[in-house]
Structure formats: structure tokens, C-alpha cells
A = this chain, B = another copy of it.
């Protein structure tokens, strides 16, 4: 019982790093086994298919994500402060958790969006959950009076995700050192636009 779960953990720990670089499909059992000095069949026995491995990799990554992004944010006051922590942690969770390929979900998302099956289904589930966390956090900000009442939480979630993906693209592919700064600036602008018109913001027609 103990030993098996232990090595399985070790495998998944390494697998999310590998998968962040090569993608879930590029993740290969042979390479994984070599890296960990296991036999292919020995490693394979832990999962009984590659598909199962991929799904468990996703789940494991989600656990790590919750631990290093979501959980710390819960300590901050709800509403805007919590959203700020969420964003900060999100921005460098790839670096903080030492994922050499950056956010594994961003990679998996564009890899899986046209590949139907259980892996994609699980990914969609996890992403929806995360979208939900963002939207609800934003909604709490509305209740707290940090944001306008007519602001759309789903709009906010998609916008925020866009900022993240734009950052990921600029920093990882284009290697632009300014990417992080720009992402933070965009985030500030997003918050400002959702602020409850204290002054000078032209109200955008959000119901049209």
C-alpha cells in the first residue's frame, strides 16, 4: 500500500514537469521510466493505460495548483485583495512549482481542444472549476463593494484568463522580459474598469 502510492507520487511529480514541456501527448512512458530509473513495464503497472496516466497527471497538477495558488489566496480578505493574491500566485505558479514548461493547463488546453475523450473531459472539468473560482471571487468583490454591481463575473474570468495566456505567450515563446510587467498592468486596468465608478471612468454599456 504505502510503497506503491509513494512511487506513484514520485512518478506524477516528475510527470507534470515533463508534461509541462512536451504536453500530455508528448509525455512518454519510456522517457518517464528512464528518468526515474524504473522499467517501462514497472512504471506502466501503476496506471493501466496511458490515458489513465494523463488524467492522473492532470489531477495531480490540479492539486499542486490549488495548494500553491488557491489556498494561499484564501488567507487574504475576500474580494479584490484575494483576487490580487490569486493573480500574483497564478502568474508565477509555473516558476514557483518549478514546472520547466510553464503552466501545464495552458499547454494541455490548446493541445486537447480538438481531441475528444476522457482526458479532454477531465481537463474541461478542471478548467471550469477554476473559471468558477475566479468568477465567484469576483462576485464576492461585488458584494464587498469593490466592484460595480453590473459587472459580469464571467466576462472578468475570461478577461483574466486572457491576460494570463497573453503573458504565457509573450514570456515563453517570445521570451519577452517585459511580459510580466505588462500582465500586471493589464490586471490593474481590469480591476480599475470594474471599480464602482468613484470618479472619471466612463461607464461602458455592459448590457448591450
Chain A interface (Cβ < 8 Å from any Cβ of B): 20-23, 25-26, 100-102, 106-107, 109-115, 123-124, 127-128, 131, 152, 154-155, 158-159, 161-170, 172-174, 176, 178-179, 182-183, 185-186, 188-189, 192-193, 198-202, 204, 206
> Which chain B positions have C-beta within 8 A of A131?
174
Complex formed: what's the CA distance from A126 to B17 in Å? 28
Asked if residues B204 and A192 are in contact (CB atoms below 8 Å), the reply is yes
The CB with the most chain B CB atoms within 10 A, among A178, A182, A200, is that of A182
Q: With A198-B202, A200-B198, A202-B192 as given contacts, are A166 and B173 in contact (CB-CB < 8 Å)?
A: no
> Which chain B positions have C-beta within 8 A of A159?
163, 166, 182, 186
> Which chain B positions have C-beta within 8 A of A101?
113-114
Identical subunits present: 2
> Which chain B positions have C-beta within 8 A of A102?
113-114
> Which chain B positions have C-beta within 8 A of A188?
204
Q: With A21-B114, A112-B173, A114-B101 as given contacts, are A182 and B200 in contact (CB-CB < 8 Å)?
A: no
Q: With A114-B22, A114-B101 as given contacts, are A161 and B154 in contact (CB-CB < 8 Å)?
A: no
Complex formed: what's the CA distance from A176 to B201 in Å? 29
Asked if residues B179 and A158 are in contact (CB atoms below 8 Å), the reply is yes
> Which chain B positions have C-beta within 8 A of A178?
154
Complex formed: what's the CA distance from A26 to B131 in Å? 28
> Which chain B positions have C-beta within 8 A of A106?
110
Complex formed: what's the CA distance from A146 to B190 in Å? 21
Complex formed: what's the CA distance from A26 to B23 in Å? 11
Complex formed: what's the CA distance from A201 to B195 in Å? 12
Closest to A173 in B: B113
Q: Can you list 23 residue pairs at the A/B interface with Cβ under 8 Å?
A: A20-B114, A21-B115, A22-B115, A23-B111, A101-B113, A102-B113, A109-B110, A110-B110, A110-B111, A113-B172, A113-B173, A127-B173, A131-B174, A158-B166, A158-B179, A158-B183, A163-B166, A165-B165, A166-B166, A189-B193, A192-B202, A193-B193, A198-B202
